[in-house]
Amino acid sequence: MHINSGTKQIIFFVLEEWKLILFLTLIFSLYMYYTSTFEFFEQKGIKFMKPYPVVGNLGSRMMAKKSFHEFQYEIYNFFKGNPYGGIFEGRRPCLYVLDPELIKAITIRDFEHFVDRNTLNSNEPRYLSQSLLNLKGSEWKGVRSTLTPAFSSARLKNMLPLIDVCTEQMVQFLKQYDKQDVEMKDTMGHFTLEVIGACAFGIKCDALTNENANFIKIAEKFNYMSKSKRMMIFFFLIFAPKMLRYFNISFMNEESTRELVTILKAAKKERRSGDYKRNDFLQLLIDGANKENIDADGTKSGTLLDDDTIDAQSLLFLIAGYETSSTLLSFAIHMLATKPDIQEKLRAHVTELTEGKEMSYELLSQMSYLEGFLLETLRLFPPVARVDRVCTKKYTLPGTPVEINVGDVVAIPVYGIHTDPDIYPQPEEFRPERFIGEEKKNRPAHLFLAFGTGPRNCIGLRFAMYSAKLAMVSLLKNFKFTTCPKTKDPIKFDKRGFLLKADLWVRIESL
């Protein structure tokens, strides 16, 4: 068979440059794979952010150029005026919902289609994977219903003496810093850890009597993540999300969480070996250990609360409560320092209502301005900037042709909604009155998302607000907070993590 010269040249080139050809073929194949989903929203007629190969729309986050809250704010304002819009997390499409009625439909009215949260789905220990945040379907429902009574009004009332002791310890702890500049995030972490330890587990943490207590040192490190680990998580999420199931990877610090679980296991063992029962969170978990899980079809599928599931809820309550409550209190104190007129008004409000009276659950509920102050703090500084749900039953967005398939992720940009002038007029202003009286009543409740909304909202929100109110009463009665040279106003958010974090320095003066 005769081969012409042109064909010979091609064959010789292939034989000599096969490595280059293989490399180029591989690059082309990867490019095609990582851009193959980029027509997802265009085909559905949905506005979307222009993605880039491999990273999608996450480039600025991967390079730590902006905080997660700033990223959500950017997304919200890009799509503002549209009921929804799309971004790409790597090659995975993520539908953002902005319209208030669609948000209500997804989180409340049609919740059965969006029962699950978006999780990492890695091969992490069961004391992490079995937490209420990660559980799905009927298992989540069973555990949630078991835990709900732990946060009833009656149980919160019984916690008052325990929290009172912690607030007294907090006052003494802060007095050692009289007329000094203090970073409040870590300082308030001492208080919230002591409260949770006492109220939920019957554990004395010594967080307010010994700054170097082992418990506080372990808890402070729970969300520390090295740069290499952060890059590894991004790598798996973008390049090989399905491979995560084979690796023990978590957003939490492995050593810290393991030590915390050891402490909680010891508390559980001691509780089981004794005859005395406490009226707290851990006791509720232990008492519920014999309940059986009932699947959606009515069949029994084993014990609802096995030991790992108990440990998972204990760890979640400890860590989530410690982190979010300390965030709320530290940002609240920062607002007091930077807005002295509000500080004086709030102090007068608290003094007038509590003068000569014994603190009670009912008395706290009368402090409308204090509640408004805390909710306004959470509006401007929500610990979590986005709420997301995973579709569990095929769904069509009401009033639209947009179909959402099982497994698709739907996100709600909390920080964007909280700073939308059409929902919260003059959003940059700090006004506790937004959450008092008619102004609060006239705004849909599901557009305040600091605790999420619907059946899958934060289970501990009442406990968080209750303990925060008690803390603020003591702080306002005993201290004056002012700015100092290290105070940053406006606040600069940390650009590395997913939870809200900032350096919050103020000056403390005893009254």
* Positions at the binding site for heme: 458
SS3 202: coil
**With contact defined as beta carbons under 8 Å apart, do 230 and 496 qualify?**
yes
Phi, psi of 395 (to 5 degrees): -145, 145
Q: CA 169, 200, 383 angle in degrees (round to 5)?
A: 80
Measure the CA–CA gap between 424 and 401, rounded to whole angstroms: 30
**Binding site as annotated, residues:** 458
DSSP class of residue 429? Answer: S
CA nearest neighbour of 126 among 276, 302, 261, 279: 261
DSSP class of residue 51? Answer: P
The pairing of strands 409-412 and 92-97 is parallel
**With contact defined as beta carbons under 8 Å apart, do 347 and 166 qualify?**
no
Which stretch of DSSP H or E encloses residue 509? strand 505-510
Lookup: tokens for 237: 């999420």
CA nearest neighbour of 103 among 435, 424, 445, 377: 445
Measure the CA–CA gap between 126 and 132, rounded to whole angstroms: 12
**With contact defined as beta carbons under 8 Å apart, do 322 and 468 qualify?**
no
Helical spans, DSSP H, in 176-249: 184-196, 214-220, 227-239
Query: What b/e string do you get for 18-32 counting C-beta neighbours within 10 Å, with b at 16 or more?
Result: eeeeeeeeeeeeeee
Q: How far is CA 91 from CA 98, 194, 279, in A?
A: 22, 43, 48
Lookup: tokens for 230: 């952060």
Which stretch of DSSP H or E encloses residue 364? helix 361-365
